[in-house]
Structure 1
Amino acid sequence: MGRTAEWTAKGRGLLGKMPYWSSRGELGTWEERELLRARITELEAVLDAVSARAQADPDRSDLAPSYVAKARLELDAARDVLSHRTHPMMRRAAHLGVARSHLDVALNLMVWTASLDDVKALLPDLAARVDEHFAPRDPRRIRIKEIAQRLNQPDNRTLEPSERSFLADTVSLARRLLRKETLRVRSFVRIVRLVTIGLGLAAVAVAWAGCYWDDMVPLCFTPEYRNTFSVVCPTRTVTGFTSPPGTDAIASASRGADYLVVEIVGLVSAGIASAAALRRIRGTALPYGVPVVLALLKLPTGALTAVLGLLLMRGGFVPGLSALDSTAQIIAWSVILGYSQQLFTRSVDSQGQAVLDSVRGPQSPGSSGADHRR
Structure 2
Amino acid sequence: MSDRQPPAPRFDSGVSLFRHPVEWWRGRRRRCREMKWEEGSWELREVIRAGINELEALLETKPLQPDKARLADDVRAELDEAREKLSHAQHPGHLVGAHLSVAQIHLDGARDLLLRMIEPEEVTPLLPGLIALVREQLQVKDPRRMKVEDIGKETAKRPPTQADVEAIIDAVNVARLLALRDRLRVGSFVRIVKHVSAALGFLAVLVGVLGFFFPTVVPPCFTPETPAGAGGRGRTFTTVCPVSSSGGLKAAEVPGSIAELPAIEANYLVLEIVGLLAAAIAAASALRRISGTATPYNVPVALAWLKLPTGALTAVLGLLLMRGGFVPGLTALDSSAQIIAWAIVFGYSQQVFTQFVDKQGQALLAGVRGPGAAAPSANPGPAAGPTG
Q: So what's the TM-score if we normalise by structure 2?
A: 0.83
SS in 1 for 2:365: helix
- Aligned ranges for residues 166-185 of structure 1 at < 5 Å? 166-185=167-186
Equivalences for residues 350-369 of structure 1 within 5 A: 350-360=359-369, 368-369=378-379
The 8 Å contact of residues 219 and 310 in structure 1, kept in 2 or not, is answered as yes
Where structure 2 has 5 or more consecutive residues not aligned to the other structure, the ranges are 1-18, 230-235
For structure 1, the residue ranges without an aligned partner over 5 or more in a row are: 1-6, 56-60
Partner residue, 1:248:
256
Q: Which residue of 1 aligns with 2:218?
A: 217
Once the two structures are superposed, the pairs formed by residues 11-160 of structure 1 within 5 Å of their partners are 11=23, 15=27, 20=31, 23=34, 26-27=37-38, 29-48=41-60, 51-52=62-63, 55=64, 61=65, 63-83=67-87, 86-93=89-96, 94-151=98-155, 153=156, 155-157=157-159, 159-160=160-161
Q: Deviations over 1:238-292 (max 9, x none)?
A: 1002447543334444811111101100000000111111111111121211111
Q: Secondary structure at 1:73's aligned position in 2?
A: helix
1:279 equivalenced with 2:288 (yes/no): yes
Displacement of 1:231: 0.9
CA–CA separation in structure 2 for the residues paired with 1:357 and 1:292: 16
Instruction: Quote the offset at 1:11 in angstroms.
Output: 3.9
Residue type of the partner of 2:158? Answer: N
Partners in 2 of 1:294 and 1:365 — Cα distance? 26
Indicate if the aligned counterparts of 1:132 and 1:360 stay in contact, CA closer than 8 A.
no
Distance 1:230 1:101, change over 3 A: same
Q: Residue 256 of structure 1: SS of its match in structure 2?
A: helix
User: How big is the shift at 1:171?
Assistant: 0.7
* Greater shift in the superposed pair: 347-356 or 331-340: 347-356
Question: Which residue does the alignment assign to 2:199?
Answer: 198
1:10-53 deviation per Cα after TM superposition (whole angstroms, max 9, x unaligned): 949x959x99389488456222222222111111223345x42x
- Name the count of aligned residue pairs: 354
Residue by residue, what CA displacement relative to the aligned partner does 1:89-120 show, whole Å, maximum 9, x if unpaired? 23221322221111111111122122233211
The one-letter amino acid of 1:320's match is G
Aligned with 1:211: secondary structure?
Answer: helix
CA distance in 2, matches of 1:302, 1:111: 53
**Cα distance, 1:165–1:282 mapped onto 2, change above 3 Å:** same
> 1:359 Cα deviation (Å)?
1.4
Partner of 1:326: 335
**Partner of residue 241, structure 2:** 233
CA distance, structure 1, for counterparts of residue 261 and residue 23 of structure 2 = 56
- The one of the two structures with greater contact order (alpha-carbon pairs below 8 A, sep at least 6) is 2
Separation of aligned partners in 2, 1:20 and 1:109? 37
8 Å contact kept, 2:279–2:347: yes
Provide the rounded CA distance (Å) in 2 between the counterparts of 1:373 and 1:23. 31
- 2:315 is matched with 306
Instruction: Report the CA distance between 1:66 and its aligned residue.
Output: 2.6
Partner-residue secondary structure (3-state), 1:257 = helix
Give the aligned residue type for 1:98. V
Counterparts of 1:238 and 1:22 in 2: how far apart (Å)? 52
- Secondary structure of 1:186's aligned partner: helix
Provide the C-alpha distance between the structure 1 equivalents of 2:172 and 2:380, rounded to a whole number of angstroms: 17
- Residue equivalent to 2:12: none
